[in-house]
Structure 1
Amino acid sequence: MAVTCFLRYVIDPYKLDDFEAYGRMWIRLVGKFGGDHHGYFMPSEGTNNVALAMFTFPSFAAYERYRERARDDAECQEALALAERTRCIVSWERSFFRPVFSAEGR
Structure 2
Amino acid sequence: MLYQVYVRGELFHTFLTEEAARDFCIRAASNYVELSKKDYYYPILREKYGVERIRDIPAEIRYKYWADEKKKCLRNDYRIKRIDTTPTKEEFEAFHKRVEEYREAEKKKKKKKIK
With normalisation by structure 2, the TM-score equals 0.28
Higher normalized strand content (fraction of residues): 1
Structure number with the bigger relative contact order (C-alpha 8 A, sep ≥ 6) is: 1
Higher normalized helix content (fraction of residues): 2
